[in-house]
């Protein structure tokens, strides 16, 4: 272990132990360090391991292993990307270039050129050229230069309206720019308005990879002009880039749209329309299991199950308020000269069921649930496999309760969600969204309700994030989010309080004092939508579903044609036990049949030849554990049924294979 030699701006040399922390360096250097001299602080030999980070007025020493240092690398990379694009496409105006989860992007306004992946090679070459120049990053305070006003004027004159807008926003925060200087002459080559921090110089940047281009609105507002966004990533080493690309490829292999095609799970046909799903037999099996689970659990947890129509007269949606704020998402039709609307939600129907008779406080909470298929018009560019569609089935429920029952009801839903997601071993994030600026209802009721949600979350012991002001105008909510193969999160379960519909539909119950009171309404879903949940399951299991969900649970493989009859007898016996079973009677060798079954991710294969027929046994192969040896058919089927019934927590086991 060698020590770190630190050359200080005044020419003196300081030695620090190899394990020195960022704070040790800051202490060693002392407070008087000239900011412009930072790049020379650490000598060349240790720069692969460490670099000094100037962050505001503090100096810290980071190693490449520090998580934060990757952020610095990427942000510096973004500056180099911007410089490269401006070099190659003169007249380009730059907007912002923040870091994102696995990299960064930069937004550009490029006149007369539309970026496409064909430009990537050119841009990456320019980036390499810049990095090879070892341009020095230097932080400068605008106030100490020509002042904010002068700089604003300069931005405006150069047409850098985005930078001007940003500077104007931060003009009172002692804004800084980062200058890229020529290492030898000290001449300014390029600069960007930026808070920093940055690397000492561009030679630290070794592996930038441009990923994609897309449009993005300035400030994320679709009324603003659309800029060209370049997504990219940057690592310390090309090896890390390669590993990242491999990781993306793995995610692509798990993509539910790809597996959906391979395993014939579902399709979206042009003749039908985009965002409209055809569930093929295989995925229908999985859905059936989900629905069975759903029904059983709802009965156990005290829900009532209802069925409601797919369309309703416009009046109903006027009353619920949907025609006001949801009209552009709804499909309409005319019947008998009356306007009807295809339901985008199930709530109004459930409300009417609640309202259909006088309710006593004694029968609250009323829990109405339905697998309700709804249709919503989604903009054409937003559809995504099973995750974002135009027709989908919500596992919806509405709880009508007293205000003092909120915590218990929400607690029940949280438990339901947790139990369900645990069953699939799925991880999720929890977000609590509170009162927005525009809201309806009584502030005191909101406070009570938010408190009730918090108490429920804390009582259950779930970690959660609070999104202040992100609730719907009609009530606070808790969202549960699942991750897909590429790390995108999708909302599935949700618990949402509603002070609006009870008001609009004048819901009442008779309280113990004989007074009519308004119930609280809670919307909730466990799966969210069966489509999205099925898509998430496909990616979660990468198509290898646990036996209870697998479309085909057992495939019987005859060695030769003379075994087919016997196989079909076994098939019939299993089918009578409601096992999803098939016989592969194709004219292929056993090797091919096994290969096909493995690729189809079928949990169990039964190989049947002369030996098995004579002994009345089956040779069992598991897709994950390989050859399990021979067993009597009845013993196998008994264990299989046990595994299916236990929802996969108990796998078929057989005595160890005899070594011959």
DSSP, collapsed to helix, strand or coil, labels residue 298 as: helix
- Give the one residue of 8, 88, 241, 268 binding RNA; rule: CB under 7 A: 268
Q: Nearest Cα to 544, choosing from 597, 595, 603?
A: 603
- Give the one residue of 144, 324, 587, 660 binding RNA; rule: CB under 7 A: 587
The interface with RNA within residues 194-213 (CB under 7 A) comprises: 212-213
By C-beta, is 160 or 612 nearer to RNA? 612
- Give the one residue of 626, 658, 659, 660 binding RNA; rule: CB under 7 A: 626
The interface with RNA within residues 374-393 (CB under 7 A) comprises: 376, 378-385, 387-390, 392
The interface with RNA within residues 437-496 (CB under 7 A) comprises: 479, 486, 488, 490-492, 494
By C-beta, is 442 or 610 nearer to RNA? 610
Q: What length is written for the chain?
A: 660
Task: Establish whether 398 is a catalytic residue.
Answer: yes
Contacts for 305 with CB less than 8 Å, ≥ 6 apart: 295, 298, 299, 369, 370
Q: How far apart are the C-alpha atoms of 613 and 619, rounded to whole Å?
A: 10
- Give the one residue of 238, 599, 616, 645 binding RNA; rule: CB under 7 A: 599
- Give the one residue of 569, 586, 650, 653 binding RNA; rule: CB under 7 A: 586
Angle, alpha carbons 180-181-187 (nearest 5°): 135
Q: Which of 75, 359, 398, 593 is catalytic?
A: 398
H-helix or E-strand spanning residue 636? helix 633-645
With contacts defined by CB under 7 A, name the span among 129-137, 163-171, 214-222, 441-449 that binds RNA. 214-222
Q: Which of 83, 228, 394, 553 is catalytic?
A: 394
**Per CB under 7 A, 19 contacts RNA:** no
DSSP, collapsed to helix, strand or coil, labels residue 490 as: strand
State CA 383 to chain mean position distance. Answer: 15
Q: How far apart are the C-alpha atoms of 591 and 119, rounded to whole Å?
A: 47
**Per CB under 7 A, 560 contacts RNA:** yes
The interface with RNA within residues 99-158 (CB under 7 A) comprises: 114-117
For residue 178, the cross-strand partners are: 139, 192
Contact between residue 339 and residue 332 where contact means Cβ atoms under 8 Å apart: yes
Give min distance, CB of 496 to RNA, in A.
Answer: 8
- Give the one residue of 18, 27, 37, 226 binding RNA; rule: CB under 7 A: 226
- Give the one residue of 4, 410, 574, 594 binding RNA; rule: CB under 7 A: 594
With contacts defined by CB under 7 A, name the span among 46-54, 64-72, 190-198, 585-593 that binds RNA. 585-593
By C-beta, is 411 or 594 nearer to RNA? 594
Give min distance, CB of 487 to RNA, in A.
Answer: 9
Q: Nearest Cα to 134, choosing from 215, 71, 80?
A: 80
With contacts defined by CB under 7 A, name the span among 141-149, 511-519, 619-627, 648-656 that binds RNA. 619-627
Number of residues located near RNA, criterion CB under 7 A: 78
**Per CB under 7 A, 221 contacts RNA:** yes
- Give the one residue of 3, 45, 214, 247 binding RNA; rule: CB under 7 A: 214
**Per CB under 7 A, 249 contacts RNA:** no
Show contacts of 131-134: CB within 8 Å, 24+ apart: 131/80, 131/202, 131/203, 131/205, 131/206, 132/203, 133/182, 133/183, 133/189, 133/202, 134/183, 134/201, 134/202, 134/203
Q: Which of 74, 257, 359, 523 is catalytic?
A: 523
Over the window 393 to 432, marking each residue x when it contacts RNA by CB under 7 A and - when it does not, the resulting string is -x--------------------------------------
Task: Establish whether 577 is a catalytic residue.
Answer: no
Angle, alpha carbons 408-414-420 (nearest 5°): 135
The interface with RNA within residues 270-309 (CB under 7 A) comprises: 270, 273-275
The interface with RNA within residues 511-550 (CB under 7 A) comprises: 525, 528-529, 531-532
Contacts for 37 with CB less than 8 Å, ≥ 6 apart: 9
**Per CB under 7 A, 609 contacts RNA:** yes
| Dihedral, CA of residue 579, residue 580, residue 586 and residue 591, to nearest 10 | -80
Q: How far apart are the C-alpha atoms of 518 and 448, rounded to whole Å?
A: 15
By C-beta, is 361 or 490 nearer to RNA? 490
Structure tokens at 444: 């005191």
With contacts defined by CB under 7 A, name the span among 176-184, 287-295, 581-589, 638-646 that binds RNA. 581-589
By C-beta, is 137 or 545 nearer to RNA? 545
Structure tokens at 165: 């807008």
Give min distance, CB of 93 to RNA, in A.
Answer: 15
Residue-wise DSSP of 322-339: HHHHSGGG--EEEETTEE
By C-beta, is 17 or 215 nearer to RNA? 215
Q: Which of 55, 119, 396, 498 is catalytic?
A: 396
**Per CB under 7 A, 610 contacts RNA:** yes
By C-beta, is 41 or 534 nearer to RNA? 534
By C-beta, is 271 or 336 nearer to RNA? 271
Q: Which of 131, 180, 194, 347 is catalytic?
A: 347
Q: How far apart are the C-alpha atoms of 313 and 317, rounded to whole Å?
A: 7
**Per CB under 7 A, 554 contacts RNA:** no
Task: Establish whether 131 is a catalytic residue.
Answer: no
Q: How far is CA 295 from CA 155, 285, 307, 369, in A?
A: 63, 15, 13, 9
A 10 A CB-CB count for 207 gives: 18
With contacts defined by CB under 7 A, name the span among 65-73, 79-87, 130-138, 605-613 that binds RNA. 605-613
Q: Which of 367, 376, 435, 563 is catalytic?
A: 376
**Per CB under 7 A, 611 contacts RNA:** yes
Q: How far apart are the C-alpha atoms of 132 and 499, rounded to whole Å?
A: 62
**Per CB under 7 A, 368 contacts RNA:** no
**Per CB under 7 A, 576 contacts RNA:** no
Task: Establish whether 347 is a catalytic residue.
Answer: yes
Q: Nearest Cα to 606, choosing from 582, 589, 625, 588?
A: 582
Contact between residue 405 and residue 365 where contact means Cβ atoms under 8 Å apart: yes
Residue-wise DSSP of 223-288: TSPEEEEEEEEEESSHHHHHHHHHHHHHHHHH-HHHHHHHTT-EE--TTT-TT--EE-HHHHHHHH
Task: Establish whether 477 is a catalytic residue.
Answer: yes
By C-beta, is 49 or 248 nearer to RNA? 248
Residues known to be catalytic: 347, 376, 394, 396, 398, 477, 523
């Amino acid at each position: 272990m060698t020590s770190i030699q630190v050359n200080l701006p005044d020419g003196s040399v300081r030695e620090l132990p190899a394990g020195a922390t960022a704070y040790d360096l800051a202490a060693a250097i002392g407070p008087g360090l000239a900011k412009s001299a930072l790049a020379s602080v650490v000598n060349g030999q240790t720069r692969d391991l460490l670099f000094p980070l100037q962050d505001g007025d503090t100096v810290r020493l980071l190693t490449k292993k520090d998580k934060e240092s990757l952020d610095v690398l990427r942000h510096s990379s973004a500056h180099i990307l911007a410089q490269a694009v401006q070099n190659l496409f003169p007249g380009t105006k730059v907007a912002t270039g923040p870091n994102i989860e696995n990299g960064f992007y930069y937004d550009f306004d490029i006149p007369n050129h539309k970026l496409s992946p064909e430009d990537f090679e050119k841009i990456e070459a320019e980036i390499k050229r810049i990095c090879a120049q070892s341009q020095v990053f230097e932080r400068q305070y605008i106030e100490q230069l020509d002042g904010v006003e002068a700089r604003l004027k300069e931005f405006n004159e150069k047409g850098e309206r985005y930078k001007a807008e940003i500077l104007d926003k931060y003009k009172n925060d002692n804004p800084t720019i980062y200058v890229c200087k020529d290492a030898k002459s000290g001449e300014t080559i390029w600069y960007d308005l930026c808070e920093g921090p940055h690397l000492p110089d561009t030679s630290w940047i070794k592996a930038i990879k441009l990923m994609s281009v897309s449009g993005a609105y300035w400030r994320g507002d679709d009324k603003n002009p659309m800029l060209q966004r370049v997504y990219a990533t940057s690592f310390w080493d090309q090896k890390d880039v390669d590993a990242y690309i491999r990781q993306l490829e793995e995610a692509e292999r798990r993509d539910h749209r790809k597996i959906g095609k391979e395993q014939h799970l579902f399709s979206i046909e042009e003749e039908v329309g985009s965002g409209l799903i055809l569930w093929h037999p295989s995925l229908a099996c999985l859905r059936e299991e989900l629905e069975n689970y759903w029904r059983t659990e709802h009965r156990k947890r005290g829900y009532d199950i209802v069925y409601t129509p797919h369309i309703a007269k416009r009046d109903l949606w006027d009353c619920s308020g949907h025609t006001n704020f949801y009209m552009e998402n709804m499909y309409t039709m005319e019947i008998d000269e009356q306007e009807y609307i295809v339901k985008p939600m199930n709530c109004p129907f459930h409300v009417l069921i609640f309202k259909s008779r006088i309710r006593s406080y004694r029968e609250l909470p009323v829990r109405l649930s339905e697998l309700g298929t709804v249709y919503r018009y989604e903009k054409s560019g937003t559809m995504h496999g099973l995750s974002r569609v135009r027709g989908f089935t919500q596992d919806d429920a509405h709880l009508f309760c007293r205000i003092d029952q909120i915590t218990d009801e929400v607690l029940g839903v949280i438990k339901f969600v947790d139990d369900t997601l645990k069953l699939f071993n799925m991880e999720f994030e929890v977000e609590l969204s509170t009162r927005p600026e525009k809201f309806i209802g009584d502030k005191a009721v909101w406070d009570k309700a938010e408190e009730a949600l918090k108490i429920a979350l804390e009582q259950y012991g779930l970690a959660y994030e609070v999104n202040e002001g992100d609730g719907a105008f009609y009530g606070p909510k808790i969202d549960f989010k699942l991750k897909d193969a590429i790390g995108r999160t999708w909302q599935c379960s949700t618990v949402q309080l509603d002070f609006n519909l009870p008001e609009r539909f004048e819901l009442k119950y008779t309280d113990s004092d004989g007074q009519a009171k308004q119930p609280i309404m809670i919307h909730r879903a466990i799966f969210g939508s069966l489509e999205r949940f099925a898509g998430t399951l496909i990616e979660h299991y990468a198509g290898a579903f646990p036996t209870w969900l697998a479309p085909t649970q057992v495939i019987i493989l005859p060695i030769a044609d003379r075994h087919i009859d016997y196989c079909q007898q076994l098939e019939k016996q299993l089918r009578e036990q409601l096992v999803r079973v098939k016989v592969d009677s194709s004219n292929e060798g056993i090797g091919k049949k096994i290969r096909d079954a493995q690729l189809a991710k079928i949990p169990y294969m039964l190989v049947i030849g002369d030996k098995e027929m004579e002994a009345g046994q089956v040779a069992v192969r598991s897709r994950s554990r390989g050859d399990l040896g021979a067993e009597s058919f009845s013993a196998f089927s008994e264990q299989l049924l046990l595994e299916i019934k236990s929802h996969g927590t108990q796998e078929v086991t057989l005595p160890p294979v005899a070594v011959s």
